[in-house]
Chain A
Amino acid sequence: MMEKNNSGMKKSNSENKINRRKFLISLGNTATGIVVLGGIGVTFEYLTPNVLLEIPKVFKIGPINSIQPNSVIFEPEQRTFVVREEQGSFYALSAVCTHLGCTTKWNDIGAAGNSAAVISCPCHGSLFNKYGEVLQGPAPRTLDKYRVQLEDDKLVINTGEKVSEDEMILKV
């Protein structure tokens, strides 16, 4: 019994035993793998710029007294609509279409069967209402809304901070 077991162990041992050839092969494969992965990683990191020459995310607009009620200011640099409604409530909407990133246009007189003011995208025909909700077209979601805050008598809009519908309006 013992002998039989021993010989069995020996056999499996010699199969699993790492000899010099196997060791060198796996060493070579591992080294190649590390170099390839490392190369890819380094290249990807290199291709991702750390400093972007893009416009700042926070901008100011105002003084608020100079903004007419029921009016829209289009901030071209940031591609943002800043809207003042009658009661002195403000909100900021992104002008970038959520479909494929074209710059939308504000139409006060309405378009395509809508009498109220609409925001229309020229690329694929999406239409939004003045709160950025999708009326028609291929746009998958509402326009982004940005946080608006009051600082002295000016509005501070942070395009880096997207807010939900409930938080979007700033009452003054």
Chain B
Amino acid sequence: MTNEKQFEIEISTDSKEVPQRLAIIPERTPVKYELEKPDEKLVMTFPNLIIREVICFQLVVIVLALISLFFDAPLEELANLQNTPNPAKAPWYFLGLQELLHIFPPVVAGVLIPLLVLIALIVIPYFDINIKRSGLWNDQPKKTFVIFSSSIFLFFLLMIFFDAFSIAIPTLLIYILAVSPYFIKKENVFINALAHLSLAEWIMTWFVFVSVLLIIIGTYFRGPGWNWVWP
């Protein structure tokens, strides 16, 4: 260690002579650079992962073959412009959308809402609030409660105005779940789990709940003339 370099600190106002170096040390390590736990156990990809993939593929093919043997794909009569079947239903994954089309004007249901959903999904990782994922009630619970409740209330009124009970009621349910950690101070597993969910997670949960519900309604509860029927 005799060869150690000697550094000198030079101070000058001329940046050409003495370039200044600046180091910024963040308070907390950003998520991006958090290191993986070093003690995590590594295994060889071959055969550990490859065998799982092969088995997974085999299972997929077996399950598909069984389903295809016992359930036939639907095929109705030749397309006929003159005769619209009653009710005319889209494929199941679009029935939520069709239900929306029943409720809202087409520009809203067919263009605006899908576009908003798409944009919302795309911005998720760029949405800084969500990166830290603190629970909804972690800081300033009172302020959060007022803003959250009033926006939900406005949304609820809007839905009632459009007679969209199939959206309003699930929204209310999710709202009750979301605010329950604010009122119930008792600690138990369920309430703790709810309290940990961030705003983004609540929105996603709400979105999934409503879309699944709308799809179920569209599939089983809509009869001729798109009227409500019991399955």
- State if A and B touch, Cβ cutoff 8 Å: yes
Question: When each residue 80-92 of chain B gets 1 if its CB lies under 8 Å from chain A and 0 otherwise, what string results?
Answer: 0111111110000
- Please report the C-alpha to C-alpha distance between residue A74 and residue B83 in the assembled complex, in whole angstroms: 11
Are B106 and A100 in contact, CB atoms less than 8 angstroms apart? yes
The answer to whether A103 and B82 touch (CB under 8 A), given A112-B225, A122-B88, A125-B226, is: yes
Chain B 65-112 residues near chain A, CB threshold 8 A: 81-88, 98, 101-106
- Among B105-154, those with CB < 8 Å from A are 105-106
**Chain A nearest Cβ from B97, distance in angstroms:** 11
The reply on A58 being an interface residue by CB < 8 A is no
Whether A18 is near chain B, meaning CB under 8 Å from some CB there, is: no
Question: Out of A111, A112, A124, which one reaches B101, CB within 8 Å?
Answer: A124
- B106 near A140 with CB under 8 A, answer yes
B224 at the interface (CB under 8 A from A): yes
Tell me the total A-B contact number using a CB cutoff of 8 A: 56
Q: How far is the CA of A124 from the CA of B224 in the complex (A)?
A: 9
Bound state CA distance, A18 and B174, in angstroms? 65
- Contact of A123 with B by CB under 8 A: yes
Q: In angstroms, how far is the closest chain B Cβ from the Cβ of A14?
A: 26
Whether the pair A100, B101 counts as a contact (CB closer than 8 A) is yes
Chain A residues bordering chain B, tally (CB within 8 A): 22
Beyond A111-B225, A112-B225, is A123–B84 a contact (Cβ under 8 Å)? yes
Cβ of B111 to closest chain A Cβ, rounded Å: 13
Given contacts A79-B81, A103-B84, contact A122 B224 (CB under 8 A): yes
B side interface size, CB within 8 A: 19
Q: Complex Cα distance A140/B109, Å?
A: 13
The interface residues of chain A, by DSSP majority, are classed as: loop
B81 touches A138 (CB 8 A): no
Is B45 engaged at the interface, CB distance under 8 Å to the other chain?
Answer: no
Is there an interface contact between A122 and B225, defined as CB atoms closer than 8 Å? Answer: yes
Decide: A76 and B102 in contact? CB cutoff 8 A.
Answer: no
**Shortest Cβ gap from A121 to chain B (Å):** 8
CB-based contact A122/B86 at 8 Å:
yes
Query: B48: CB under 8 A from chain A?
Result: no
Taken together as a complex, chains A and B put the C-alpha atoms of A140 and B102 apart, in Å, by 11
A99 touches B (CB below 8 Å)? yes
Check B103 against A103 for contact (C-beta < 8 Å).
no
Would A102 and B88 count as touching, CB distance under 8 A?
A: yes
Q: In the assembled complex, which residues on chain A have CB atoms less than 8 Å from the CB atom of B88?
A: 102, 122-123
A120 lies within 8 A of B81 (CB): no
Is B12 located at the chain interface by the 8 A CB criterion? Answer: no
Question: Which residues from A are CB-within-8-Å of B98?
Answer: 124
A 59-99 binary contact with B (CB < 8 Å = 1; else 0)? 00000000000000010110100000000000000000001
Chain A, residue nearest B85 (CB): A122
- The answer to whether B83 and A103 have CB atoms under 8 Å apart is yes
| A55 (CB) vs chain B CBs: closest residue | B81
Report 24 cross-chain contacts, Cβ distance below 8 Å, ordered by A residue: A79-B82, A99-B106, A100-B106, A103-B82, A103-B84, A105-B84, A105-B86, A111-B225, A112-B225, A112-B227, A122-B86, A122-B87, A122-B88, A123-B84, A123-B226, A124-B101, A124-B226, A125-B102, A137-B102, A137-B226, A138-B101, A138-B103, A138-B106, A140-B105
Measured CB to CB, the residues of A under 8 A from B are: 74, 76-77, 79, 99-100, 102-105, 111-112, 120-125, 127, 137-138, 140
- Taking A122-B225, A123-B226, A138-B105 as given, write out 11 further A-B residue pairs in contact, using a Cβ cutoff of 8 Å, ordered by the A residue number: A77-B82, A79-B81, A79-B82, A99-B101, A103-B83, A121-B84, A122-B84, A124-B226, A125-B102, A138-B103, A140-B106
